Amino acid sequence: MVVPVETLLIEPNKLFREVLKLLVESDDFHIVNEAGSLAEGHRAIEAGLVPGMVLIDPSPGYSDEQESMKRLRALLPEARLVVLTGGVSTRLLTSALEAGIDGYLIRDMSAEALCQSLRLVMMGEKVFPSHFATLMINGRTSTSMPDIQFGRGGLTPREGQIIRCLQNGDSNKFIASHLKITEATVKVHLKGLMRKIHVSNRTQAAIWGRTNGTGSQDLPASA
């Protein structure tokens, strides 16, 4: 029997908290507590709460989210920490990365895609927007950069790796071995990838990759 991951939800908007609870609650995740700010989340953890995952949307205009997220990581070294936010902010992404966050998600996604991304995080994957990850690898993220938009269908770095493998005709077993992940993880990625780019099979996904220029130079070599 699968035990749901106990999840702490940190979201300043009470209505959106209620919506998220309805969307995330499943056989895989269970919201055990909720907070309106990182500070409230800290207090709940210091009072004894030990969730397996924390889903965070920093308060609007919050100026010290990096230190607060670092503190959260120090309090919960084994938990998965995921930022879920409505804004595309390089400053927030940089803060999240430096704080050791496991995932950075944008609200503009379906409920199924959200839960799938959270499952991937719990499987040990790092889930970040591919464009942001590329900027990070190139050392171009900074608080002075303007906010940017996603490209290439919003693929994550891992999805970019997998779509390149599909272009080579690689099997799931080969992809898993090549990327040092399990075949089950490959299958989860493939399902989300095909849904994201609106195709129904591996061949169509490979063609999409070629058409959209997803080659070895486009995405970092590791997620």
Q: Dump pLDDT digits (tens) for 121-136.
A: 998 888 876 555 445 4
Query: What average pLDDT does the segment 202-209 reach?
Result: 81
In this predicted structure, what is the pLDDT of residue 130?
A: 58
- Write out the DSSP string of the chain: -PPPEEEEEE-S-HHHHHHHHHHH-SSSEEEEEEESSHHHHHHHHHTT---SEEEE-PPTT-TTHHHHHHHHHHH-TTSEEEEEESS--HHHHHHHHHTT-SEEEESSS-HHHHHHHHHHHHTT--B--HHHHHHHHTT---TTSPP----GGG--HHHHHHHHHHHTT--HHHHHHHHTS-HHHHHHHHHHHHHHTT-SSHHHHHHHHHHTT--TTTS-S--
The boundaries of the domain holding residue 180 are 152-211
Check whether residue 11 and residue 85 sit in a common domain: yes
Say yes or no to pLDDT of 192 above 50.
yes
Check whether residue 24 and residue 114 sit in a common domain: yes
Say yes or no to pLDDT of 55 above 70.
yes
Which of 106, 137, 168 is the last residue in one of the domains? 137
CATH of the domain at 200: 1.10.10.10
The more confidently predicted of residues 6 and 134 is: 6
Say yes or no to pLDDT of 80 above 80.
yes
Check whether residue 160 and residue 80 sit in a common domain: no
Residue 65's pLDDT band (cuts 50, 70, 90):
confident
Which of 137, 168, 183 is the last residue in one of the domains? 137
Structural domain contains residue 43: yes
CATH of the domain at 132: 3.40.50.2300
Check whether residue 42 and residue 123 sit in a common domain: yes
In this predicted structure, what is the pLDDT of residue 148?
A: 36
Check whether residue 71 and residue 160 sit in a common domain: no
Structural domain contains residue 181: yes
